[in-house]
A and B are shown apart, each in its own frame.
Chain A
């Protein structure tokens, strides 16, 4: 019998909190990295186009 006022167990809440933190941080990091890569690719393409048009003229 647990003494009164003491919480027994609760590991499901602990796991839920850690999973929430892990998932949110990982999802936001993945989102930022994906956006950085897509913007870099876009910039490379526009740089290539600018070089090509300079070469044409």
Chain B
């Protein structure tokens, strides 16, 4: 348990360092000015959101392939963490869009595909609550997770494939070192925090399944005899 919290503590320390550096030491961007500092939280949440959805995709394949409950638990934990990051990437993106584009929202390819991902993955979590049979729930979760992952490459590459209001990806070669540093530190911070979230969420899911297994048979027996 303590090892699990170490991920959260490392993530917290890194995000404090990255954010303080991004807000104070990093220079304002030539055109966007101080508003560019939003990118030090927006981009790391976006990168990690897509990475966590990739993890969920891998876990879902493992869940279907092996039929083992631990992969279903990992898939659920990754999906829920991805949804939290998806909310953050959309929220910070909208806050960034207002001063730079002049609007909070546009049905641009990247924004739209990001919103579709949020709806799909949140729907999977909602769907799970309606299914009592653990095997059926695991299969449906894995299948819907694999189908939903089709949207993830569209989020990443969509800005290159179609005309988009959203800018294409930057690289360290196109950014000043003083801007790359807070971006990288915050990216690792969000990664560590995400791993911590997934471990905690997996533990909760495991405990829930164990308590269902222990509590349900006597309850069902009692209901049957009543």
Contact = CB atoms under 8 A, between A and B. Distances in A.
Interface of A: 5-11, 13-14, 16-18, 20-21, 24-25, 28-29, 32-33, 35-36, 39-40, 42-43, 46
Interface residues of B, number: 37
Interface of B: 8, 19, 23, 30-35, 37-38, 41-42, 45, 84, 87-88, 91-92, 95-96, 98-100, 193, 196-197, 200-201, 203-204, 207-208, 210-211, 214-215
A1 to B, nearest CB: 15
A7 B200 contact: no
Nearest to B83: A28
Nearest to B93: A17
A7 B92 CA distance: 18
Given A7-B31, A24-B88, A25-B88, 10 more contacts: A8-B33, A9-B34, A10-B34, A13-B95, A14-B38, A17-B96, A20-B91, A29-B8, A36-B207, A39-B208
